[in-house]
Amino acid sequence: MTGEASISFDRIADRYDDTRGGLRRGREVAEAIEPHLGDARRVLEVGVGTGAVAVALTEAGRTVLGVDLASAMLRRAGDRIGSRVVQGDALTLPFGTGRVEAAYVVWVLHLVGDPALAMSECARVLRKGGRLIVVAGRPRPDPDTDPDILALFAPMERVRDARVRPDDADSVQRWAAAAGLTLVTRAERQEQFTESPAKMADPIEQRAFSYLWEIDDETWSDVVLPVVAQLRALPDQDRGRVLRQRQDLQVFEKA
């Protein structure tokens, strides 16, 4: 998919936090990233979004610089971490070579036009010995997650996989190696959240996820709407279901 445009989230900036876990989830991700940043004080987030992760790292004592393609998202990030945000594409980062102490990328690589180039840009701006932390890849549900929920979402995962770029751990490692980065750590980030069937159905119905924005009418009616209907047919619509999942976290270093 080299040469395609990166995806901007301007159209759902006002709903982004509500459909992605907001500050709670941002804080959890920051807690997973922070130990891998070492002694870096100034850290770059590529794809800073609304600043949910950045504000948590700022509270932990880091100075976070943020870059994002979407101006509406950046306005929200600016409200949280101040003026240390800039509009730009991950494919052409607006920073000098070797100027960044450390960087991180969270749920971004599947959205950029050329993930390999994005990784190369991250490597370019890193100083020697600087670290890049990447959280990517489709989350893997734990076996004890409600099997009814897992079965319902299986068609949605197929729709997603057909419309976003693969960012699995092995792909990320290949891009990193090509960019001159060395793998330091490969781990799993675990998360747990509680969501009701009604709350799960709402963002799908509202097309809050990027892989639903340009979906064709046939797939929408034949695949997506039946998932929404099944979610709304589950008993106890407002009772939260505990969902547990894991996602890859990898740490690379520039030699």
Q: What CATH number is attached to the domain comprising 62? A: 3.40.50.150
Name the strands in the sheet holding 100-106, side by side, starting at the edge strand that comes first in the sequence.
Answer: 85-87, 63-68, 42-46, 100-106, 126-141, 241-254, 181-195
Residue 144 DSSP one-character state:
T
Residue 160 in any domain: the answer is no
- The tally of domains found in the chain comes to 1
Residue 233 in any domain: the answer is no
Residue 197 in any domain: the answer is no
Residue 235 in any domain: the answer is no
Residue 3 in any domain: the answer is no
Residues 69/73/79/82 CA torsion (nearest 10 deg): -10
Residue 173 in any domain: the answer is yes
The parent domain of residue 87 ranges over: 10-141+165-192+246-254
Residue 112 in any domain: the answer is yes
pLDDT tens, per residue, the chain with 255 residues? 345 788 999 999 999 999 999 999 999 999 999 999 999 999 999 999 999 999 999 999 999 999 999 999 999 999 999 999 999 999 999 999 999 999 999 999 999 999 999 999 999 999 999 999 999 998 888 877 777 787 888 899 899 988 888 999 999 999 999 999 999 999 999 998 889 999 999 999 999 999 999 999 999 999 999 999 999 999 999 999 888 899 999 999 999
